[in-house]
Amino acid sequence: MKRRDFLKSTAAVIGGAGFLGTLHPATLTAQDAPKRGGTLIWGHSETTQNLDIHQTGTASTLRVLQNVHAPIVTVDQNLKVIPNLAEKYEQSDDGLTYTFRLRPGVKFHNGKTMTSADVKYSFERCKNPATGAVNFEVFNNVAAIETPDDLTVVVKMSKVNAPFLSRLAENGAGAIMPEGSGEAQANTPIGAGPFKFVRREFGHEVELQRFDDYWDGPAYLERVIAREVTEPTVRLTGLRTGELHMINDIPADRIEEIKSNSKLQVRTWFPLNWDFVNFNHEFEPFKDKRVRLAFDLLIDKEQLLQGALWGQGKLTATPSYPTSTSRNAALSNRPQDIQKAKALLAEAGYGPGKLKVVFKTTTNYPYHIEAAQIMVEWFREAGVQMTIEQLTWSDWLSQVWTNKDFQVSMMNFFTLWEPDFLYYSEWHSTGAFNYRKIKDPVLDELLEKARVTTDPAARDDIYKQVQQRIFDEVHDVILWFRNGSIGAQPSVGGIDTIVHPNGSNLNFHKVWLRA
């Protein structure tokens, strides 16, 4: 199929995409009784990094660790906070005290029974700056953690932190690990989840084994092997030949083809993640808002979506979840205007040939490479000399994320449905994910105000102001939401249970193999 014909054929599908997406069965028989045993080989689209769930900031690693750890609270399909390792919880009327009643008899993978001491240890470890936890700010307002008995934890706040419970439900802050196990977590994670860690061959695969003492009942699968296959075509070939039972991230240009294949299952949903172009705010040209705005105006977002992502997504000017009540729906992407961009660059002192930038992107996301290659031509039209530096995932994390050594980059974020997690982590001057060195006192004030605002409608309004500020100041260029996809062999049962409500994490607790 020619590319232009493919794009025409998929346009209607993308336009009508829903949050939960659809399951396209090949030989599914919903009446099949789950079977116990077997090893599922998962073609993981990304490489895992640090295995310490407190320290890791990559969705690729969290997809594995969500099967190893269990949080104190979680969310249902509507992203409402519900009990998990805590069988119930209460919040005081003044919002300053949280009491968790733990499930009795919960076992860790090392055989230890979970108590309130483990919860206190986990929370205090995440709060401790020496840990380097990405979710440290969740516990900023925690004044004391009390353990009146083995099954009761009382968290006392110095001031209100409205999103505290929802932050515990998402990506590691609420994960409970055995007391004293912190030093081992980076290489040998120990949790209370449905699978226990066996081994990791860095850059190749991770092996998990069923934990028979899991509090919510043992998994069906005996083992899961996450085989890291970052090259999309190789990943798809592995699925089609039967080498892999399942893959995530079906190549965007092959999704319609795979959907029509009666020998495979396909699960699609919207959205998986959102993508944006990043500026290093301490790189001299990008200290000037006019330059950032010019770069925004140089990008034809729709053409970029079609060219790099084959239309498998939808444009957005804000990263807030499509269904979020805090989403600023009034924002829309700026249209391309190369002449206006050239004028702004000239006004800022960067006439034709005066501005040279390096665009660092990672081979972990091949479509980012394609997007950068498309953008080079537009920037050239405006007299900007841009070169592309392709980095491995590890090198991108080291150079861009950790050392903040870059000028322009592109990244995507997953699972940030909770607005405090999304905006405080990304855009607050002290946020754990603020690798762009953004320092905006107006944003800081708004984000801190949101944390102590308990009225949901008022809090939503603050986040809408935050989105407007990010857009007006062009702190980053938000591009699109990307669709999610899973392909699987007919032998894989329970495929519709894999995707977490946040759209990113994958859980294999209820998955089985028919043969």
359: its two tokens: 């665009």
Note whether 478 and 271 are within 8 A (CB). Answer: no
Give how far the C-alpha of residue 427 lies from the chain's centroid of Cα atoms, to the nearest Å: 16
pTM score = 0.87
Q: Specify the residue for token string 């029509």.
A: 260
- Summarised one tens digit per residue, pLDDT across range 85-114 is 999 999 999 999 999 999 999 999 999 999
Cβ atoms of 46 and 57 within 8 Å: the answer is: no
The domain spans of the chain are 32-51+193-264+489-513, 69-182, 271-482
Phi and psi torsions of 387, nearest 5°: -110, 150
CA distance 124 to 181: 13
Which burial class, exposed, middle or buried, applies to 93 when counting CB atoms under 10 A from its CB (0-12, 13-18, 19+)? exposed
Tokens of 218: 């043992």
Task: Say whether domain 69-182 belongs to CATH 3.40.50.10800.
Answer: no
Identify the burial level of 1 via C-beta atoms within 10 angstroms of its C-beta, where 0-12 means exposed, 13-18 middle and 19 or more buried.
exposed
Q: 486 pLDDT band (50/70/90 cuts)?
A: very high
Nearest Cα to 476, choosing from 282, 288, 295? 295
**Lowest mean pLDDT segment, chosen from 34-38, 206-210, 411-415:** 411-415
**Contact yes or no for 434/440 (Cβ under 8 A):** no
What mean pLDDT is predicted for residues 254-265? 91
Q: At what angle do helices 289-297 and 338-347 cross, to 10 degrees?
A: 160
Residue 161 in tokens: 């932190």
**Any bridge partners for residue 410, and if so which?**
277
The arithmetic mean of pLDDT across residues 244-266, rounded, is 93
Residues in the chain, overall count: 515
SS3 state at 64: helix
Mean pLDDT to the nearest integer, 338-351: 98
9-24 average pLDDT score: 36
Of the pLDDT bands very low, low, confident and very high (cuts 50, 70, 90), residue 415 is: low
Beta bridge partners of 268: 22, 485
Encoded amino acid at 304, one letter: L
CB 365 within 8 A of CB 334: no
pLDDT at 1 > cutoff 50: no
Matching CATH topology for 32-51+193-264+489-513 and 69-182?
no
Kindly indicate whether the domain formed by 271-482 is annotated with CATH number 3.10.105.10: yes
| Bridge partner list, 266 | 24, 487
Write down the pLDDT at residue 86: 98
Distance CA 237, CA 161 (A): 48
Sequence-ordered list of residues with C-beta below 8 angstroms from that of 297, at least 6 positions apart, any chain: 334, 336, 337, 338, 340, 341, 344
Structure tokens at 286: 């990008």
Residues sharing a CB contact under 8 Å with residue 509, sequence separation 6 or more, in sequence order: 67, 194, 214, 216, 219, 497
Instruction: Give which of 292, 290, 297 is closest to 279, Cα–Cα.
Output: 292
- For 193-222, the pLDDT digits (tens) are 999 999 999 989 999 999 999 999 999 999
Strand, coil or helix: what is 57? coil
HEC states along 476-514?
EEEEEEEEEEEEECCCEECHHHCECCCCCCECCCCCEEC
Of 32-36, 42-46, 165-169, 448-452, least confident by mean pLDDT is 32-36
**What is d(CA 228, CA 123) in angstroms, rounded to the nearest whole number?**
31
Class of domain 32-51+193-264+489-513: alpha beta
The CA distance from 248 to 415, in Å, is 15
